Amino acid sequence: MLELANALVLMLLGAMLFFPSVVAPVVFTSLPEAQAGAFLRSMFPRYYAFMIALSLIAALFFLVVSDESAYQAAIVCLFVGVSTLWVRQWLLPRINTARDAQLAGDVQAAQRFDRDHKLSVGINLLQLVLLVGIQFV
C-alpha cells in the first residue's frame, strides 16, 4: 500500500508541475487571449478534481500503513485534498467573477483577480512543497 500511495503522490506532483509549466504557457502562446482564457477556465475544475481525487486516495492508502511517517503523509495528502476542494469550490469562482468584471473594465475587480489568483498560486506552491517533503520522510 505504501508504494501505491507514493506512486499516487508522484503522479499528483507530476500533474501539478506539468499543468502550470507546460499546458498553460502553450495555451497562452497558441491561442488568442480570449480563447486561451476560456480553455483554461474549463480545464481548471478538472485539474482540481484530479488533484482532489489523487490526494484523497493517497491519504487513504497512507492510513492503511500503520507507521508514523505514513500517518504524517496521510495528513499532508488530506490537507492537499481539502485545500484543493476549497480552491475549486470557493476561490476559483471568485477568480472567474473578478476576471470577468476586470475584462468588462472594473479596475477594482482587477485587484481582486490579482489577489485571489496569487492566493491560489501560493496554495498550490505550498501543496507542492508539502508533497515533495513527504517523499523524503
Q: What does the domain layout of the chain look like in residue ranges?
A: 2-135
On whether the CB atoms of residues 8 and 58 are closer than 8 A, the answer is yes
pLDDT band at 54 (very low <50, low <70, confident <90, very high): very high
How far, in Å, CA of 7 to CA of 4, rounded? 5
pLDDT value for 25: 94
pLDDT higher than 90, residue 118: yes
pLDDT value for 84: 98
Q: Compute the mean pLDDT over every residue in the chain, rounded to the nearest whole number.
A: 95
pLDDT higher than 90, residue 104: yes
Q: Which residues of 91-109 are buried (b: 16+ CB within 10 A; e: fewer)?
A: bbebbbebbebbeeeeeeb
pLDDT higher than 90, residue 67: no
DSSP string, 36-93: HHHHHHHHHHHHHHHHHHHHHHHHHHHHHS-SHHHHHHHHHHHHHHHHHHHIIIIIHH
Phi/psi-derived region of residue 67, left when phi > 0, alpha when psi is between -120 and 50, beta in every other case = beta
On whether the CB atoms of residues 70 and 48 are closer than 8 A, the answer is no
Which tens digits make up the pLDDT trace of 14-50? 999 999 999 999 999 999 988 999 999 999 999 999 9
How far, in Å, CA of 5 to CA of 106, rounded? 45
